[in-house]
């Protein structure tokens, strides 16, 4: 199994602590890159459709594509460093998802853990809150297929999205991140069929955005520790 799929060595980082590093070998077919990664038009329309479907559900107006942000994001993605750019805009990163649609859905799925009444920033829900942040009006994303080789390098398709004006402004969460509203009260606009209207009760280890597969968790000496069900979702800061 491991010999058959040498390209599937994946690093899994916990969101909270990059130090709790585990190594996984995952059995999966070597798949052809998804068209929504390789074709510019499809990438852009997928990002907009999926993002705006979440926004609509949470009563935020649709984002427009911003080429300045997209150029910045594309440049940053090319470095393949799985870390924030430190730029002036809102920025979400993901890496290792099978297609662009799933890269965004992984962020949207964080809404299951968000406390709308409290309205606070949390690393576990920060992608979602930026995604649907009402005052944000434009987005631009870029992506690069990275090999994950080297410390801190992004594994697989690395998606970088920039948001303007930036969201996650402390003190402004309650008015910017609204609970899901009923369909008849949502702003106009198409809904992407990949985005669930209601999140399923999936186990937390395999959020809806993930492509769950069986894998074997390895100890540091390469010894197999346990069989796990895990996700192709790799890590996202
Ligand atoms: C995005 O939505 C538009 C409008 O509904 C649709 O025409 C287009 O095919 C969608 N694109 C993708 C990639 O789903
Ligand atoms: C949606 O948001 C707008 C503006 O933020 C607000 O006026 C409206 O009442 C909201 N709709 C619902 C159903 O909460
Ligand atoms: C696009 O983003 C830039 C920030 O990089 C911002 O200055 C500009 O106003 C944005 N354009 C639109 C139409 O939102
Ligand atoms: C993206 O990948 C997921 C998981 O493999 C799949 O269910 C979904 O249909 C794909 N979506 C698109 C638009 O390719
Ligand atoms: C996602 O984007 C927001 C907005 O820039 C940023 O504050 C946050 O750190 C990013 N990641 C997470 C996990 O919140």
Least confidently predicted of 75-89, 125-139, 220-234:
220-234
Instruction: Please tell me the predicted confidence (pLDDT) of residue 201.
Output: 55
What is the 8-class DSSP label of residue 190?
-
In this structure, what token pair is assigned to residue 226? 């346990």
Mean pLDDT on 22-51: 77
Measured from the alpha carbon of residue 59, the closest ligand is: 2
Using the predicted structure, report yes or no on whether residue 7 has a pLDDT greater than 60: no
Using the predicted structure, report yes or no on whether residue 186 has a pLDDT greater than 60: yes
**Ligand 5 touching residue 126 (CB < 6 A):** yes
Average pLDDT taken over every residue of the chain: 79
Instruction: Please tell me the predicted confidence (pLDDT) of residue 158.
Output: 95
Strand partners, 102: none
Q: Which of 48, 133, 138, 162 to mutate to test the pocket of ligand 3 (most atoms within 8 A of CB)?
A: 138
Length of the chain: 237
Residue 198 — pLDDT band, cuts 50, 70, 90? confident
CA of 27: how far to CAs of 38, 105, 226, in Å?
A: 24, 23, 14
Instruction: Please tell me the predicted confidence (pLDDT) of residue 197.
Output: 85
Closest ligand 3 atom to residue 138 Cα is 14
**Ligand 5 touching residue 176 (CB < 6 A):** no
**pLDDT > 70: what percent of the chain?**
71
Q: Which of 132, 135, 178 to mutate to test the pocket of ligand 2 (most atoms within 8 A of CB)?
A: 178
Closest ligand 1 atom to residue 192 Cα is 14
Instruction: Please tell me the predicted confidence (pLDDT) of residue 196.
Output: 87
Choice between 13 and 233, residue whose per-residue pLDDT is larger: 233
CB within 8 A of 222, min separation 6: which ones? none
Choice between 66 and 222, residue whose per-residue pLDDT is larger: 66
Residue 8 — pLDDT band, cuts 50, 70, 90? very low
Choice between 21 and 87, residue whose per-residue pLDDT is larger: 87
Residue 226 — pLDDT band, cuts 50, 70, 90? very low
Mean pLDDT on 89-116: 93
Strand partners, 163: 90, 139
CA of 203: how far to CAs of 125, 200, 207, in Å?
A: 16, 9, 7
Least confidently predicted of 65-74, 161-170, 210-219:
210-219
Using the predicted structure, report yes or no on whether residue 144 has a pLDDT greater than 70: yes
Using the predicted structure, report yes or no on whether residue 31 has a pLDDT greater than 50: yes
Mean pLDDT on 173-195: 95
**Ligand 5 touching residue 207 (CB < 6 A):** no
What is the 8-class DSSP label of residue 81?
B
Mean pLDDT on 161-174: 97
Pocket of ligand 4 (CB under 6 A): 34, 36, 98-99, 101-102, 194, 211
Measured from the alpha carbon of residue 71, the closest ligand is: 3
Using the predicted structure, report yes or no on whether residue 22 has a pLDDT greater than 70: no
Measured from the alpha carbon of residue 58, the closest ligand is: 2
**Ligand 3 touching residue 137 (CB < 6 A):** yes
CA of 31 to the centre of ligand 3 (A): 36
CA-nearest of 189, 167, 208 to 53 is: 189
Closest ligand 4 atom to residue 34 Cα is 14
């Amino acid at each position: 199994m491991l010999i058959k799929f040498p390209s599937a060595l994946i690093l899994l980082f916990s969101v909270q602590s990059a130090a709790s590093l585990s190594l996984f070998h995952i059995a999966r077919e070597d798949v052809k890159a998804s068209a929504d990664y390789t074709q510019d038009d499809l990438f852009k329309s997928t990002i907009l459709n999926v993002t705006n479907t979440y926004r609509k559900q949470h009563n935020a107006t649709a984002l427009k594509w911003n080429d300045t942000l997209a150029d910045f994001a594309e440049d940053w993605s090319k470095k393949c460093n799985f870390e924030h750019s430190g730029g002036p805009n809102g920025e979400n990163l993901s890496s290792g998802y099978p297609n662009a649609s799933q890269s965004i859905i992984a962020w949207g799925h964080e809404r299951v853990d968000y406390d709308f009444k409290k309205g606070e920033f949390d690393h576990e829900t920060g992608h979602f809150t930026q995604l649907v942040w009402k005052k944000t009006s434009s987005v631009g994303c870029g992506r690069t297929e990275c090999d994950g080789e080297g410390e801190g390098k992004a594994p697989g398709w690395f998606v970088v999205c920039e948001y303007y004006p930036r969201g996650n402004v402390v003190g402004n969460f309650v008015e910017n991140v609204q609970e899901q509203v009923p369909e008849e009260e949502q702003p106009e606009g198409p809904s992407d069929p990949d985005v669930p209207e209601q999140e399923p009760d999936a186990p937390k280890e395999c959020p809806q955005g993930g492509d769950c597969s069986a894998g074997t968790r390895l100890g540091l000496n390469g010894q197999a520790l346990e069989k796990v069900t895990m996700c192709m979702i790799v890590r996202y800061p």
